[in-house]
Structure 1
Amino acid sequence: MMSSMTTAADRKLTGLVAATFTPFSQEGEVNLSEIGPYIDYLVKKQGVKSIFVNGTTGESMSLTVEERKVLAEAWCREARGKLDQVIVHVGCFNLKDSQELARHAAEIGADGIAVIAPFFFKPKTADVLRAFLQGVAEAAQTLPFYYYHIPAITGVNVQVRDLIDGIEKVIPSFRGVKFSGSDLMDFGQCVRYSQPEWSILYGVDEQMLAALALGAHGAVGSTYNYIGCHVNQLILAFEKGDHVRARTIQFKMQELLSFAIKLGFDVGVNKQLMIDVSGLCLGPPRLPVTPSPPDNSQLIIRKYRSLFSEC
Structure 2
Amino acid sequence: MDFGRLIVAMVTPFDENLQINWDQTGALIDYLIEEQGNESIVVSGTTGESPTITEEEKLQLFEYALKHANGRCKIIAGTGSNDTAHSIHLSQAAEKLGVDALLLVAPYYNRPSQEGLYQHFKAIAESVSIPCILYNVEGRTGVNISAETTIRLSQISNIVATKDCANLDQLTQIVSGAAPEFLVYSGDDSMALPVLSIGGHGIVSVASHVVGKEMKNMINCYLQGETREAAKIHARIHPVLLGMFNCPHRVPNPAPVKYALNRKGIQVGGVRLPLIPVTEEEGRFIDALFN
**Aligned equivalent of 2:57:** 67
The 5 Å alignment of 1:116-195 reads: 116-125=105-114, 127-140=115-128, 142-159=129-146, 161-168=147-154, 171-181=156-166, 183-195=167-179
Structure 1 runs of 4+ aligned residues shifted over 4 Å read 257-260
Task: Between 15-24 and 231-240, report the one with greater CA deviation.
Answer: 231-240
Q: Is the 8 A contact 2:77 2:103 kept in 1?
A: yes
TM-score normalised by the chain length of structure 1: 0.87
Distance, in Å, in 2 between the alignment partners of 1:27 and 1:211 is 40
Percent identity reads: 27
Q: Is the 8 A contact 1:23 1:30 kept in 2?
A: yes
**Aligned equivalent of 1:292:** 278
Q: Is the 8 A contact 1:23 1:34 kept in 2?
A: yes
The alpha carbon displacement at 1:75 in A equals: 1.3
Distance, in Å, in 2 between the alignment partners of 1:168 and 1:299 is 40
Distance, in Å, in 1 between the alignment partners of 2:20 and 2:242 is 31
2:79 aligned with 1:90: yes
CA deviations over 1:127-185 (Å, ceiling 9, x no partner): 21010111222221x100111111111110231x211333355x33111111123x111
The alpha carbon displacement at 1:53 in A equals: 1.4
Q: Is the 8 A contact 2:3 2:39 kept in 1?
A: no
Match of 1:50, as an amino acid?
S
CA deviations over 1:251-291 (Å, ceiling 9, x no partner): 233223445514234221221112223x2221101111111
Match of 2:124, as an amino acid?
V
**Aligned equivalent of 1:100:** 89
CA deviations over 1:9-28 (Å, ceiling 9, x no partner): xx232310011001111111
2:38 pairs with 45, 48, 61, which one?
Answer: 48
1:115 pairs with 79, 92, 104, which one?
Answer: 104
TM-score normalised by the chain length of structure 2: 0.93
2:231 aligned with 1:247: yes
**Aligned equivalent of 1:234:** 218
CA deviations over 1:196-252 (Å, ceiling 9, x no partner): 332211111011111010011111010011111001111122123322221222123
Distance 1:221 1:56, change over 3 A: same
**RMSD value over aligned CA atoms?**
1.7
Distance 1:165 1:82, change over 3 A: closer
Q: Is the 8 A contact 1:13 1:199 kept in 2?
A: no
Distance, in Å, in 1 between the alignment partners of 2:151 and 2:39 is 30
Task: Between 38-47 and 220-229, report the one with greater CA deviation.
Answer: 38-47
**Aligned equivalent of 2:287:** 301
In structure 1, runs of 5+ residues without a counterpart are 1-10, 307-311
Distance, in Å, in 1 between the alignment partners of 2:188 and 2:238 is 11
Distance 1:58 1:262, change over 3 A: closer
The alpha carbon displacement at 1:61 in A equals: 1.1
In structure 2, runs of 5+ residues without a counterpart are none
The alpha carbon displacement at 1:51 in A equals: 0.8
Q: Is the 8 A contact 2:133 2:160 kept in 1?
A: yes
Distance, in Å, in 2 between the alignment partners of 1:37 and 1:259 is 25
* Number of matched pairs: 288
**Aligned equivalent of 2:71:** 81
Q: Is the 8 A contact 2:102 2:130 kept in 1?
A: yes
